[in-house]
Amino acid sequence: MKMMAIGLGKQAGAQVTHKAGFAHMAHMIPLFGKAVIKNAKILAGIAILENPFDETCKIEAMPAEEIEEREPGLQAESKALMPKILIPECDVLIVDEIGKNIAGSGMDPNITGTFGSPYASGGLKSQRVCILDLTEESHHNGNGMGTADVTTRRLVDKVDLDVTYPNGITSTLLESHKIPMILPNDKEAIQMCVRTLNGVKPEDARIIRIKNSLHIEHIQISEPLLEEAKRTKGLHIESEPFDFPFDENGNLF
């Protein structure tokens, strides 16, 4: 339904669907989808489900007239397959990279908890979110950077606002396109997050680092989270604690 209303509808379809706001999205998308099925030449729909490791695990085709009935069950199945960070809360989340090839919103808020709308929730709970870099595949689209608190000069220098802003204008989620506090390098960006925590001593900061929101099978945690991680079903401790490896420019290897 979403791909008919917004994907096939392109910018015009997306703009009309989003105009009412995210509070009405659950109503708008099926409404537009049914109109497309009724009035356009839609032959069939193909549902592609992914497992938690970003691998295709199920493909199911259905005639156009069955999409409305069958898609909700497939969507529920897809949501059940979605990965998550098994530690539910932290003080600082470090995301090595965001990008349109990672998620439409730069980083998947269902994983990171960084929703640009008050009408959606879930994912990790954190006081501060730090984003370090933008993928080349994003082609300078920094969509989603506004949901972080701190970033690096490296990331901001890669952003083309003319490429980035159309996403915010169309979706009406301008919060996702604001520029976070900018620090010179990874080390200072992480330090700023730790320094501005409320009610947490720096040595007690619970930090989680992920490569991106698409690949979270391996994560890094700070020592204050170690005991909780040992008690968490599904987590395996892979190494002894070590210092973050910063290069001479203050950036993480």
H or E element, residue 28: helix 25-39
Residue 67 has pLDDT above 90, yes or no: yes
* Sequence-distant (≥ 6) Cβ neighbours of residue 250 within 8 angstroms: 184, 185, 186, 187, 188
Across residues 117-144, what is the average pLDDT? 95
Q: What is the pLDDT of residue 14?
A: 83
Lowest-pLDDT range of 4-8, 92-96, 102-106, 217-221: 4-8
Q: Identify which has the larger pLDDT, 243 or 12.
A: 243
Query: Percent of the chain beyond pLDDT 90?
Result: 81
Per-residue pLDDT reduced to its tens digit, 1-14: 999 988 888 888 88
pLDDT, average across residues 193-220: 97
pTM recorded for the entire structure: 0.90
Q: CB 184: neighbour CB atoms within 10 A?
A: 13
Contact 247, 253 (CB under 8 A): yes
* pLDDT tops 90 at residue 163: yes
Confidence (pLDDT) at 71: 95
* pLDDT at residue 91 in the model: 98
3-state secondary structure 135-181: CHHHCCCCCCHHHCCEEEHHHHHHCCHHHHHHHHHHHCCHHHHCCCE
What integer is the mean pLDDT of 121-148? 96
In this predicted model, what pLDDT tens digit does every residue of 19-52 receive, in sequence order?
Answer: 888 888 888 899 999 999 999 999 999 999 999 9
Burial 99-131 (b: 16+ CB within 10 A, else e): bbbbbebbbbbbbbbbbbbeeeeebbebbbbbb
What torsion do the CA atoms of 186, 249, 241, 239 make, to the nearest 10 degrees?
A: 90
Model pLDDT, residue 64: 96
What is the predicted pLDDT for the residue at 247?
Answer: 96
Task: State whether residue 228 is helix, strand or coil.
Answer: helix
3 state DSSP class of 45: strand
| pLDDT value, residue 13 | 83
Confidence of residue 17 (pLDDT cuts 50, 70, 90): confident
What's the whole-number mean pLDDT along residues 166-190?
Answer: 93
User: What pLDDT, on a 0 to 100 scale, did the predictor assign at position 90?
Assistant: 98
Looking at residue 235, what is its pLDDT? 96
